[in-house]
Amino acid sequence: MSANALRQVVIVGGGTAGWMAAAGLARVFGSLLDITLVESEEIGTVGVGEATIPQIQLYNRLLGIDEDAFVRATRGSFKLGIVFDGWGAPGERYIHAFGEPGTPLGGLPFHHYWLRDRLARGERGAPDLWAYSLNAEAAFAGRFGRSPTGGFGPLGEMPYAFHFDAHLYAKFLRAYAERLGVKRIEGKVLDVTLGEPDGRVVSLRLDHDRELHGELFVDCSGFRGLLIEQALRTGYEDWSTHLPADRAGAVPCARVEPLTPWTKATADAAGWRWRIPLQHRTGNGYVFCSRFISEDEATARLLSQLDGEALGDPRPLRFVTGKRRRIWNRNVVALGLASGFMEPLESTSIHLVQSCLDKLIQYFPDRDFADAPRDRFNAEADAEYVAIRDFLVLHYTATRRDDTPFWRHCRDALPQPETLKARMELWRRAGRLPVESHDLFKPNSWLQVLVGQGIEAEGYSPLANRLEAARLSMWLADVRGLVARAREQLPDHAAFITASCRAEAA
């Protein structure tokens, strides 16, 4: 090992981000690193963050964990997409399903054929986009299976993610990380010592007169950003002009039937409500903009629309949408809420922990903390954050709602970033959906949200005209048939869990 190799890693915080970092680093670096995590039970964790996207399977694979054991331990359920209720207009509903609707033909993405059919037959005459999506059809039928097509045939895989209990997830990862030798310290960080001349963090002063030294510090201390902001004054890019929600209330309620394999996001007077079904309870919350509704009113709206008995009082949360100016500053890398937060509409926050952790592993520093890897890390993380931001803004601005001052504000006054405007222009003219290397959300996601929110494409790729009209109709009918047959082969979601990963106490 090189004399310059870094050895001591200190992680501050034991929420989802802290334990994901600890487990991931311990798994990848093994005995090359000494990892210590400090957390405070008295301070606690944010306690939300229970819906994920399919990329989490990459993290699970990195850890090499058994999926059934993980779902059982976290009392989780499976997720095939997010249902958006009332976003385009009141009463409308669509799903952002994982996976691609249809299948490409002759090198051309499916949606161009679908657009041709729709423009020829009209919106009412043509089957909707989701009749071609196995994820969507299975979700609405309440069904779930791991690989209904065995990964073969034109439908490919059925991508899925998880809902889980955030506390149980951190506990699960903690047990994993401790087995791999991560040391945990229970205690509060009271002060941070910076060294000369470069202002790196040298050590942390803990309660009970303890001192903790390290070389690389991973700040997973949540919104407070104990190291990245309070100690290093990194600065924050405030994105609330684009993403106006700034508060949330969260409350669990009793589980009701059926156990839906999707997260639900329902547009409401001054924001939206989430619903996350777990084996033992349902997670609920109201994300809102405090300029348009009081906390009391938001809480009342949340409680009045639960579909089961409330299991506690709603917990208020405050945030400013945006990100740190540098997610990696000096010898501190911020992960999770310490790095920024863009609101939970598309369940992206846990993914960003994972993807920044992945970048950290890729650009892992040595003791001299050279600029180049850090700059590259920051550039890639920034690009990913910005692309996600644009995708979220689309949901708010592409609306026809005008029933409340909040929605009128979103529709008429919320500025769209230039990058988003450029994408929408490409879509409107000829159904083009560009993809950048840093995009988390691929064309199939943009497609579903654009169509779901009522943004019409006026044209499609001329290549879709290569197929004769009668053959196009037959082929589209075949794809719909395949989807419907595959859906019928899937078990009921709750029955699948009972058979494979039911939690004992659930």
**In the complex, which residues of this chain contact ligand FAD (CB under 6 A)?**
12-18, 38-40, 43-46, 48-52, 166, 188-189, 220-222, 224, 226, 248, 250, 285, 317, 319, 336-338, 344, 347, 349-350
CB 248 to ligand FAD: min, Å: 4
Give min distance, CB of 247 to ligand FAD, in A: 8
* Least distance in angstroms from the C-beta of 159 to ligand FAD: 16
Give the integer Cα–Cα distance in Å for 415 and 78.
Answer: 35
Q: Least Å distance between CB 353 and ligand FAD?
A: 6
The three state secondary structure string of 305-350 is CCCCCECCCCEEEECCCEEECCCEECCEEECHHHCEECCCCCCCHH
Distance between CA atoms of residues 439 and 251, nearest Å: 32
Nearer to ligand FAD, 56 or 472 (CB): 56
- Other CB atoms within 10 Å distance of the CB of residue 383: 14
Shortest Å distance, C-beta 330 to ligand FAD? 19
Residue closer to ligand FAD, measured from CB, 114 or 169: 169
Residue closer to ligand FAD, measured from CB, 134 or 357: 357
What string of DSSP letters covers 428-445?
HHH------TT-SS-HHH
Strands 263-268, 81-85: pairing kind: parallel
**C-alpha closest to that of 409 among 246, 296, 241, 265:** 241
Helices 443-452 and 418-430 sit at what angle, rounded to 10 degrees? 80
Q: How far is the CB of 191 from ligand FAD (least distance, A)?
A: 10
Residue whose tokens read 């990329």: 55
Structure tokens at 228: 């990245």
Measured from the CB atom, is 245 or 472 closer to ligand FAD?
245
Backbone angle region of 426, left / alpha / beta, with phi > 0 → left and psi within -120 to 50 → alpha: alpha
CB closer to ligand FAD out of 44 and 462: 44
Query: Which of these is catalytic: 79, 264, 323, 359?
Result: 79
Query: What minimum distance in Å lies between the beta carbon of 340 and ligand FAD?
Result: 10
Nearest Cα to 244, choosing from 294, 279, 290, 300? 290
- Alpha-carbon span 344 to 348, nearest angstrom: 7
Residue pair 15/2 in contact by the 8 Å Cβ criterion: no
Query: Beta 161-163 vs 77-79: how paired, if at all?
Result: antiparallel
Is there a contact between 136 and 130 (Cβ–Cβ < 8 Å)?
yes
| Residue placing its CB nearer to ligand FAD in the complex, 99 or 314 | 314
For 332, the token pair is 């501190």
Is 188 a known active-site residue?
no
> Closest CB to ligand FAD among 118 and 355?
355
Residues involved in catalysis: 79
